[in-house]
A and B are shown apart, each in its own frame.
Chain A
Amino acid sequence: MTDPRVTGRARYAEDLEAEGMLHARIVRSPYPHARVTGLDASQVPEGCVVLLPEDVRDLGRYGVQIRDQSVLAGRPRHVGDPVAAVAAGSARAAEEAAASLFVDYEELPAVPDVLQAVQPGAPLVHEGHELASTGAAYFGLRPQQGTNVCHRFRIRDGDVAGGFEQAEAVVDETFRVAGAHHAAMEPHACLARWEQGRLEVQTGTQTPFNLREELAGIFGLEPERVRVVCRPMGGSFGAKTFLRTEAIAAALARKAGRPVKLVLPRDEEWQTLNRHPAVVRVKLGARADGTFTAAQIECYADTGAYADSGPGVAQKMGFAAPGPYRIPNVAVDAYCVYTNLPPNGAFRGYGQMQSTWARERAVDLLADRLGLDPLELRLKNLLREGDRYCTGEPMHDVHYAECLERAAEAIGWRDDRRGKGLSVILKGMQTPSRAAIAVEAGDDGTYVLRCATAEMGQGAIHAITLLAAELLGVEPDRVRFPAPDTDVVPFDTRTTSSRSTYMMGRALEAAVRDLQANGGRRGFGEVANAGGLDPDTGQGVASTHWHQAAAGAEVRVDEETGKLEVVRLHTAVYAGRVVNRPGAELQNEGSMIMGLGSALFEEVVFRDGQVVNPNLSDYAIPSFADLPERMTHELLEGESGEIHGLGETALPPVPPAIGNAVASLGLELFDLPMTPERVTEAIERRVGVKA
């Protein structure tokens, strides 16, 4: 009965302890771009372990898609870039030791903004782009050598110029989305130790196998000589993906000959990973009857000083940009661009929120231009079963119209449109990817699941346990799911992009069949979804399975202060089949609330490359009192019974539904978040309220 989360017995990565362990602290660059010209560790107290550039000279470079990072930076490229590290007997002693290490820098020219970074002659953040060969570099990368663009992705489908010629109305606008921060309640935390030449890292991570591969590459070890154990996370939302602090902890542990624990102080979280700020230009054309004729979209994703998973984020931003519509002629150009800001990486929605904001706002602007009802315009153009997407792939299990109708009905769209807005989205899932699980029977009627799915609060462990119990015909308490451990569990791509329940669920079915066919002791199941896109034409299979949702919002605007109040918010999400209802509801509600934060006020503010608001007072996140007066959602189930992931689907539609609701009052917003100040600017731009 008593869940450890309510009794205080829940333990997270930050609670890890080991005999004789030291605590680490990172020494970080105060400059957005500089060269380290000297390090003076003479004042560091006796007994502390100091990690200096010479200690990491033998270590390999890393980066899951572009190999652009080293364990310590001799040439820091963002404020907060690690230049040295210390370990001491307590966290406090480590903090004092870090403060006693003096570093000299020579400042270099920095580029703080994505559009400046793509200008010819802009300072280069990296001189060359070396492709990574890791499992996460699974798609064709197109770095543009000699520029700050580390990946360029294109879709070319049909004749775009011809399409615009057929258009009666064309909208061409540029939209901006601010950087946001994950703000997981538990900061990044890990514990590293070496035993007989083997590295063991316990950490909160969504990506144990990617992390193992990176650590093996850095330390020159066979992957089997590295063990990664995933600890439950106090939230992640994409922040705890790939390699974050683990290599520094491991290098310190190697030098110290003792286990080293590293927990990031809150403010350093903002220097570690944020969400890509983006600029998205959308040109969309339609005939007088509303039929879309062409779309041309440019996406600029600001990946900060290191690529991390930015190329993948930019690509998804690009291929989700046209949205769930029949558009005969499409051109998309998505760029992943370096700047001298802290790295940006995976964030709930994975780039698709940014392009969805731009496109769904553009659809409403086009409806306005054509004098059509935005709902009718969408319904007229939505993808239907069997339609071909601009990537060439056929769409199946299609429910966009159903989602949109539900959202419209919930907010009473057809009664009165004033103050109301709608949006509809598609969102890709990791493709290609692979998942595997082993099921082992114990002597006492229990079963143990061995798989790499990580728990970060999303309830995946619970959902997979329920599925296993159902398939095995036992009560859920007979099924155990130990912490994922790369020494024990079969390979899995990673716990990202809302794929776990879907992919792991199918692997589990195979594993249980295998178990039942082979004596009932052990079963193994594996599934893979094949696909991928040509990076120059965008043709292929973007996603074997699309997440689908719509949102409806109703707002009130204080026209004097610009303050926006969301009175009503509803999302309709296609779930296929719901495995764990409370868990599914929590994921939907959590996504909506995070979407609300991005819509209304979340923004990482930079000045001279420095984060101005690295604390939970100056970077506000939604509280109970920020919820809309009425917030509801529904999970649509389908005939096919196919499970659809829900981890983030309800986030991207929220900001444009709110933005479109504000637009219905004649206030056109182009940038996120929609702060009261931006709303007042729209009030000043307004020419007249729509009839």
Chain B
Amino acid sequence: MALKAEHGEAATVVAGGTFVGIMVNQRLMAPAAFLSLRDVPGLAYVRANEELRLGAMTTHRTVELSPEVCEGWPALASAFAVVASPRVRNQATVGGVLADADHASDPPSMLLALGARAVARSVRGEREIPIEDLILDFYSTSLEHDELLVEVRVPGGPHGAVYRKFRSRSHEDRPAVGVAACRRQGELRVVVGAVAGRPQWFPALCDPSRDPAEVGRAYADAVEPISDVSGSASYRRRVIAVEVRRALVDLA
């Protein structure tokens, strides 16, 4: 924490290093210093009680294979399991995927739908940030320069959740549209990922009594999707309507 406070913006935090590795290889980043969390003790863990606590250095692969996660939060396990390849999932971490705020990553939407909070720590202390307040835009978060993301907390208790990844090209592709949905005690959350700068959640549209197709159409209208090689904005709208409906049907 002291190092992060001292170096602030100049020090790039490295967790698993997949994102930083790409940035360095593509010459999009040439940090003055790397702050590796590898040997910081006690940042890689899965603790499941009333709520799930994942240490920031826990790898995707660990989450995906964890019996506790598979038992209590199976949709979360499946959202981590569909990221890239086993090779990347062995490196990529829970903290990294949130702090990078890459719009086309699968887990953030699922975490948001599950009502997860990130724990940020600095020399000044610790605070909890709901995922919807953490990720602001493409590669942009509300973390302060002296803060480190150290843990993710996912509420427990009875709930139903689902994650659907829609790829428009190769199986190795990142999602053109990712839909995460969670129903908990009469509350419904639908989050659409990979279509904009941040996961798209419209609480007003998440009425659990509404027809799934209607919710799908409402989301398609509400989102302002990006256009890229995975699909145009209008195509993404079409897929959002379908995949949101399918997610809600899967949930039922």
Contact = CB atoms under 8 A, between A and B. Distances in A.
The answer on direct contact between A and B (beta carbons under 8 Å) is: yes
Contacts, number: 49
A680 B169 contact: no
A141 B243 CA distance: 53
A119 interface: no
Contact of A680 (B171, B229, B238): B238
Contacts of B49: none
A622 B174 CA distance: 14
B239 A561 contact: yes
- Categorize the interface residue count of chain A: 20 to 34
Contacts of A676: 168, 231, 235
Contacts of A560: 238, 242
Interface residues of B, number: 17
Interface in A533-565: 560-561, 563
B174 A626 contact: no
B166 interface: yes
Contacts of B239: 561
Interface string A444-483: 0000000000000000000000000000000000000000
Interface in B202-252: 228-229, 231-232, 235, 238-239, 242-243
Contact of B170 (A613, A626, A677): A626
B170 A561 contact: no
Contacts of A6: none
A1 interface: no
A301 to B, nearest CB: 24
Given A620-B172, A623-B172, A677-B168, A613 B238 contact: no
A620 B235 contact: no
Given A561-B242, A613-B229, A680 B235 contact: yes
Main secondary structure of the interface of A (DSSP, over half): loop
Contacts of A563: 166, 168
Nearest to A625: B171
B173 interface: yes
Nearest to A623: B172
Contacts of A619: 229
Nearest to A603: B229
A518 interface: no
Interface in B169-216: 169-174
A28 to B, nearest CB: 15
Interface string A42-83: 000000000000000000000000000000000000000000
A7 interface: no
A617 B242 CA distance: 25
A667 to B, nearest CB: 15
Interface string A657-679: 00000000000000000011100
A86 B127 CA distance: 51
A600 interface: yes
Contacts of B170: 601, 620-623, 625-626
A617 B238 contact: no
B229 to A, nearest CB: 5
A561 B238 CA distance: 7
A625 B167 CA distance: 12
B232 A626 contact: no
A600 B171 contact: no
A108 interface: no
Nearest to A673: B169
A10 interface: no
Contacts of A104: none
A654 to B, nearest CB: 16
A561 B166 contact: yes
Contact of B171 (A605, A618, A626, A675): A626
Contacts of A18: none
Interface of B: 166, 168-174, 228-229, 231-232, 235, 238-239, 242-243
Given A601-B169, A617-B174, 20 more contacts: A560-B238, A560-B242, A561-B166, A561-B238, A561-B239, A561-B243, A605-B229, A613-B229, A618-B228, A620-B169, A620-B172, A620-B173, A625-B170, A626-B170, A626-B172, A676-B235, A677-B168, A677-B231, A680-B235, A680-B238
Interface pairs A-B: 9 shortest CB-CB = A625-B171, A601-B169, A620-B170, A677-B235, A560-B242, A620-B169, A623-B172, A613-B229, A676-B168
28 contacts: A560-B242, A561-B166, A561-B243, A563-B166, A563-B168, A601-B168, A601-B169, A601-B170, A603-B229, A613-B229, A617-B174, A618-B228, A618-B229, A619-B229, A622-B170, A623-B170, A623-B171, A623-B172, A625-B171, A626-B170, A626-B172, A675-B168, A676-B168, A676-B231, A677-B231, A677-B235, A680-B235, A680-B238
